[in-house]
Amino acid sequence: MDDFDILYMMKTPLYMGSLSKVAEEAQSCDVNEDDQANLTSKNLLVVRALTAMNDFDQLKSFMQGLVAGETP
């Protein structure tokens, strides 16, 4: 049996073209801070969605939070 994909609620809107929904789902997506693979994937999905939406103010804030070590 395959592992459960914890990020499926973020991936589906991204690939279906509902980019604003990705940020909403990221808020409710509970990824353990020790799970670096899923945490990295989650952050990349958010960056991709914000970039595609041309929301550079929110992208800048998100990236600054990552650099500061905050969990977005």
Q: What is the pLDDT, as a whole number, of residue 55?
A: 94
Q: Band of the pLDDT at 63, cuts 50, 70, 90?
A: very high
Tokens of 50: 């914000």
Give the integer Cα–Cα distance in Å for 55 and 47: 10
Torsions phi, psi of 5, nearest 5? -90, 105
Extents of the domains making up the chain: 34-72
Q: Taking every pair of C-alpha atoms in the chain, what is the biggest distance, in angstroms?
A: 41
Is residue 48 within 8 A of residue 20, CB to CB? The reply is no
The pTM for the full model equals 0.83
Rounded to an integer, the average pLDDT of 41-45 is 93
Rounded to an integer, the average pLDDT of 47-58 is 94
Give the integer Cα–Cα distance in Å for 19 and 16: 8
